[in-house]
Each structure stands twice: as structure tokens, then as C-alpha cells.
Structure 1
Amino acid sequence: MNSRQGLTVLIVILLLGLAGTAYWAYSTHQKNNTLLSENETLNQQIADLTTLRDELQSDVDSLATAYSQLATENESLRGSAEETEKKLQQTQARLNRIQKQSQSEVNNLRAQIQELLKVKTDLEQSIASLQAENDSLRNLTGQLTADLATARSENEALANLNKTIQEELKKLTRENFKATAFRVEVEKKSTKATAKARRARRIRVSFDLTGVANEFRGVRPLYLVITDDKGTPIKVENPINAKITVNNSPMDIIAVKEQQVNVEENQRMSFTYDLEDKLKRGYYRVAVYTDIGLLGAASFRLQ
């Protein structure tokens, strides 16, 4: 009878111990569920990891139940309750590590997303900048192409103008009565040189007469003629219409200025003409005639 009572007491003690263990396991299970719920909210993108954690928790519950059943059947499993508690603690530790790892992965993903967003923004800005630069370069290329075409056209006009001047010099000048060192300067109001059409106020022409034959010396009229690249005289209020003789043939000219000079064998001569109106951009031709032909000519350009 005493043996039975002792056995009964032992069984009661074991049952109480197992009940305590089961309660502890249940309490732990409840806490783990709370942690799992919080972890799921934090790690929605890591579904596989959450599923694994749930499976581990289920395994823990199954093991706890199995250990409780074995404890009621066998008195020798007193120490098994302690082993169960130990394994439960190990499982809890693993769950804690998984939670920390999940948090770390989420933080890492967030950092990567932030970095990718920054890179995306930088790329978008770079693309916008390149597009603007390319548009600017296209416009510049178009402008350069247009400028090149204009320059070619202007160079062609200048070449034609110079060709005309050279041909006229050959046909209309006399070998022993022509200008050398023929020079044309465009000046501002301050007598400083300029190539700007809007600032041009004065035309200054200078040249040399050397080795003039006796028959051409003496007082003669000199005519200053200014035309555009098409040969059209510039507009003046009182143009000078003159008739000269070239190679025994009469020739009409329209001059902007007439000047009587005493032609000598060798001398430096100059003309100065104040523009009445502003000239447009383009090429112009300046020529100096006498009553018996052309002395010299040159071209200039206004921008």
C-alpha cells in the first residue's frame, strides 16, 4: 500500500511537472505567435522565411504534445521535461535569430532600394542633360551648316567681285597712269577702323601714283565711286553723274565725291567720304576714276 501511495505521489509530481512544462510551452507558444505576427508585418516581402518560421513553431507544438504524452506513460521521463524545455529554449533562440536576420534583410533591401532610386534619379538627370546638350549641338550644327553655306556664298561673291575688279583694272587703267598700294579703310566717328556695318561712318581711300607720264600730269578730276557687290551705287542725296573716256570710248559713272587734284609724277593721294546713310552688311567695291580712265579699285566687307 505504501508502494502504491509512493507511486501515486510520484505520478502526481510528474504530472504537475509536465503540466507546468506544458503551461510554460503554451505561454512560450503564445509569445512566439506575437513575435511571428509582428515579424510578418515587418517582412511581407520575405514570405518564404515567414512560412518556414510558422512550420518550425508547429513542429515545436507537436514535440511538446508528444513529450507530454510520453511523460504520462513512463515514470522514467522525469528528465525528459527538462530536455523539452531546453529544446524549446533553443527553438526560441533560433526564432529570435531569424527575426533579427529578417529585420537585417529588410533594412538591407530598403538601403538597396534607396540606392537604386538615387541612381535612377541621377541617370534621369544625366539623360535630361545629355538630351539638352544634344539638342543644343543639333542646333549648333544646323547653325554652323547655315553659317558655312553663308560663308561659301560670301566667299564666292567676294571672289567674283575681286575677279571683276582685276578685269576692270586690266581693261580700264593705263600702264603709266594707275594707282598702286590702293587701300580702303572703314572708320567709326572716332576715326578708328571698324568692320561693323552699324558703326561705319566714313570711307577712307589712299593710294600712290608713281611714274606718271607728262601727258597725264596737271589738274584733273578724281571721282570716288562706291558700289555693292552687284555693281549698284550706294544711295546718296546728290550723286555725281560723270562721263569719262576709257580707251577712246565714253563711259558713264555715278560717283559719291569729286575732287580736283594736281597730278604729279610721284605722289601719295587720299579720299575721305562721310557716309550719309548706314550701309548694310555685305561686300562693297571702291574705285577711283579720272576723266581718262580707272586709277585703282579694291573691295571691303561690312559685318
Structure 2
Amino acid sequence: MNKNTGLVAIIAILTLLFLGTGWWGMSQKNEKEAFMEKNAALQNTVDELETLKLDLTKEVERLEANYATLAEENEALQTSVENAQSVARQKAREIANLKKKAAAENNSLRAQIEELLKIKSELESRIQDLEAENEALRSENEQLSTDLASSQAENEALARLNKTIQDELKRLTHATFKASGFRVEVEKRKPKATAKSRQARRILVSFDLVNVPEEFRGVRPVYLVITDDKGTPIRVSNPINAQVDVNGQVMDIQAVSSREENIGENQRLSFRHDLENKLRQGYYRVAVYTDVGLLGASSFRLR
């Protein structure tokens, strides 16, 4: 009986030990599996951060290259090359300092990635600023080129007009019968001078005839002719067509007004022409003829 009781006790103890050992083994296995899963997750996170860091580094390098290209274009567009180079160098130093600061102050991957993101954002912002500035400079340069071309065209038109006037004065005037003090004024509706085409309402012309030879004195027709820089007469409702005889050669003219004038030895003559139509912007030529040639001419410009 005692032997059976002891045997049962031994079997019970062994069973408990066996169960305890099994439970401990299972517990260790579960802990090991949990640890392995946690370690794998941590490794995946580290790998992802490494990949993100690598991608951001490549993106920053690409942005730096874009920034350098834009900076070169900016330097070419800047009116002050020295100032543009100084700004570009300063921005390059700032970027280098940001990168050094990121490497020196941040040891963890997350901190480095944050710094790279800041650098990326800064580069993108500066690239946008440079693109906007370059676009503004391009527009300004285009406007300057347009203004320069317009100015050159106007100067060429004025030069052609003045040459035409001088050639005609030499060819069509008599050495002893020509105007002096030739003056042209453009007025607004009120008697006030203007150079604006939309305000021009009348043209005033005045000149002197002095020491007129006897052969040219007496009653003669006097014609006022107004043309644009291409020689086209301005529009009037009743143009006056006439012929001028210069040294035996007849020339046709179209005048805006005319009158008979008793020419003496010395006098000052004047014309007033009220415009029927508004004149466009540009250069215009005013000339005064008699039946024997050109007395004088001048030009004016309307803006």
C-alpha cells in the first residue's frame, strides 16, 4: 500500500515536471517568435528609412543641379552680372551650410531625413523664386528690345523725312525767294500746344519772306501742303490740286488750303489749318509752295 502511494506520488511529480517543462518551452518559443517579428519589423523600418534617405539625397542632388542651371541663366539675364554672381554664391554657401549642419547635428536617420526635407523645400522655393525672377527679366528684356526697335524705326523715319525736305529745298527753291524762320505748331481745341495725336485739332504755320527780288513780287498763289512721312497727303474733304513750275519743270501738288498773297519785299505770312480728321501717331511734313516753287518746309511729330 505504501509502495503504491509512493509510486503515484512520483508519477504525479514527474507529470507536473513534464507539463511545466512543456509550458516553459512553449513560452520561450512564443517569446522568441515575437522577438523575431519585432526585430524583422524594426529591420524593415530601418531599410525603409535608408531607402527614403537615398531617394531624398538623389532628389536634393537633382534640385541642386536644376538650381545651378537656373542660377547660370539668372546671371546671364541680370543687368548686373557681378551682383547676380554674388547672390548665387551666397545661396550656394547657404545650401552647403545647411547640408553641413544636417550632417553635424543629426546622427539619427530620421533627423537626417528631416534636414534633407528642409533642404529640398528650400531649394524648391528658391528655384520658384529664380524662375519668377528670370521670367520677369525676360519680359523686361523683350520690352526693351521692342522699345529699341520702335525708337530705331522712328529715327529712321525722321532721317528719311528730313533728307526729303532738304533735297526738295535744294531742288525746288529759288536761292533768293525762300522762307526763313519757318515755324510749325500743333494746337489742342483750346489755343495750347500739344504733341499728342488724339489732342491735335489745328496746325499753325508761319514764316518770313525778306528781301524778295522784284521779279517775284506781286500777287501769287500760296499753297499749304501737309503729308505724312511717306509723302501721302492728309485727308481733307476738298483737297486743292495744283501745279508748280520750277525752272521749267511742272510738279503736281495736293494742298489742304491756298490763297492769293500780294508778295512785297518783306513780310511775315501765316496759315491756320483746322484738322477735319484726327491724325495718327507719327511724323508729318508741312510745306508751303507758290506757283514758282517751294518756299519752305518743316516736320513735326505726334505721339
Q: TM-score range by the shorter chain?
A: 0.5 to 0.7
The structure with the larger Rg is 1
Q: Deviations over 1:3-46 (max 9, x none)?
A: xxxxxxxxxxxxxxxxxxxxxxxxxxxxxxxxxxxxxxxxx99x
| Cα distance in 2, alignment partners of residues 259 and 117 from structure 1 | 86
In the alignment, structure 1 segments of 5+ residues that lack a partner are 1-43, 46-103
Distance change (3 Å), C-alpha of 1:115 and 1:164: same
| Cα distance in 2, alignment partners of residues 290 and 265 from structure 1 | 16
| Cα distance in 2, alignment partners of residues 105 and 180 from structure 1 | 91
Q: Which amino acid aligns with 2:280?
A: K
Match of 2:270 in 1: 270
| Cα distance in 1, alignment partners of residues 236 and 263 from structure 2 | 27
Number of aligned residue pairs: give it: 210
Matched, 1:151 2:140: no
| Cα distance in 2, alignment partners of residues 125 and 269 from structure 1 | 71
DSSP 3-state at the match of 2:205: strand
Match of 2:163 in 1: 163
TM-score (structure 1 length as normaliser): 0.59
TM-score (structure 2 length as normaliser): 0.59
Q: Which amino acid aligns with 2:237?
A: E
CA root-mean-square deviation:
3.2
What displacement does 1:121 show? 5.4
DSSP 3-state at the match of 1:199: coil
Match of 1:218 in 2: 218
| Cα distance in 2, alignment partners of residues 247 and 261 from structure 1 | 21
Match of 1:139 in 2: 139
Match of 2:35 in 1: none
| Cα distance in 2, alignment partners of residues 278 and 226 from structure 1 | 13
What displacement does 1:225 show? 0.4
In the alignment, structure 2 segments of 5+ residues that lack a partner are 1-44, 47-105
DSSP 3-state at the match of 1:197: coil
Distance change (3 Å), C-alpha of 1:113 and 1:267: farther
Report 1:253-268 matches (<5 A).
Answer: 253-268=253-268
Distance change (3 Å), C-alpha of 1:225 and 1:117: same
Q: Deviations over 1:70-99 (max 9, x none)?
A: xxxxxxxxxxxxxxxxxxxxxxxxxxxxxx
Q: Which amino acid aligns with 2:213?
A: A
Match of 2:39 in 1: none
DSSP 3-state at the match of 2:198: helix
Distance change (3 Å), C-alpha of 1:127 and 1:194: farther
Match of 1:199 in 2: 199
Percent of aligned pairs sharing the same letter: 64
Match of 2:292 in 1: 292
DSSP 3-state at the match of 1:193: coil
Distance change (3 Å), C-alpha of 1:267 and 1:135: same
